[in-house]
């Protein structure tokens, strides 16, 4: 009788230890790796100092790095959300995406040249950088037609 009780208690303790180890392993997989975390913190600090162009360049590079990750990676969605939060604080990015969506509400596509002329208060480099990032996030598509690049807004939620 005592042997059975001690055996059951031992199996219960072993089950609790295995469950805890499994739970820690699952939460460890969902965390952002330290190199990504350091990069995101650096970008956030740069943005707080007003260096939006450098942050957009870093976001673009991060998006290109994320394309190398497997489709079912658990890191990519977490990093994309953190990058989207950074971009929401960027005044140029939000204005460029808003202008594209406004122009595409009236017509199916807008010329990249017409968009750049309409947003002449911003540098051409900044506008193109924002369009490249928006393309990585699935907010727009670019299509070449008759020597001009057309920009087509995507009104579905970003991924």
Assign residue 125 the CATH number of its domain: 1.10.10
* Three-class SS state of 18: helix
Ramachandran bin of 33, using left for φ above 0, alpha for ψ from -120 to 50, beta for the remaining angles = beta
Confidence of residue 156 (pLDDT cuts 50, 70, 90): low
Q: What is the pLDDT of residue 157?
A: 55
Residue 4 lies in a domain: no
Judge whether residue 3 has pLDDT over 80: yes
Spell out the residues 6+ positions from residue 75 whose beta carbon is closer than 8 angstroms to its own. 32, 33, 36, 69
Domain ranges, residue 78: 34-153
CB atoms within 10 A of CB 130: 28
pLDDT tens digits, residue range 53-111? 999 999 999 988 888 877 667 778 888 888 998 999 988 998 988 888 888 888 888 88
Strand segments, DSSP code E, in the chain are 110-111, 140-145, 148-153
Query: Is residue 21 domain-resident?
Result: no
What number of H helices and E strands is found in the chain?
Answer: 7, 3
Taking only the tens place, the pLDDT of each residue in 102-135 is 888 888 888 888 888 888 888 888 888 988 898 8
The Cα 43–Cα 54 span in angstroms is 8
The pTM (predicted TM-score) of the whole model is: 0.71
In a domain, 134, yes or no: yes
* Total count of domains within the chain: 1
- The answer to whether the beta carbons of residues 114 and 148 sit under 8 Å apart is no
Q: Evaluate whether residue 73 is within a structural domain.
A: yes
The residue with tokens 């100092």 is 49
CA distance 79 to 132: 18
Residue 85 lies in a domain: yes
Does the residue 6 lie in any domain? Answer: no
60 in a structural domain? yes
The pLDDT score that the predictor gives to residue 70 is 73
Query: Is 93 inside any structural domain?
Result: yes
């Amino acid at each position: 009788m005592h042997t059975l009780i001690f055996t059951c208690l031992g199996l219960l303790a072993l089950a609790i230890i295995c469950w805890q180890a499994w739970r820690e392993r699952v939460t460890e997989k969902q965390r952002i790796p330290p190199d990504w975390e350091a990069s995101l913190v650096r970008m956030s600090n740069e943005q707080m100092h007003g260096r939006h162009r450098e942050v957009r360049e870093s976001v673009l590079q991060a998006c290109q790095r994320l394309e190398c990750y497997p489709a079912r990676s658990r890191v990519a969605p977490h990093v994309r959300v953190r990058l989207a939060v950074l971009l929401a604080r960027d005044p140029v990015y939000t204005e460029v995406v808003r202008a594209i969506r406004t122009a595409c509400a009236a017509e199916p596509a807008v010329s990249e040249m017409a968009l750049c002329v309409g947003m002449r208060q911003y540098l051409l480099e900044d506008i193109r950088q924002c369009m490249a990032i928006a393309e990585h996030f699935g907010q727009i598509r670019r299509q070449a037609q008759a020597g001009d690049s057309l920009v087509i807004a995507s009104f579905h939620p970003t991924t």
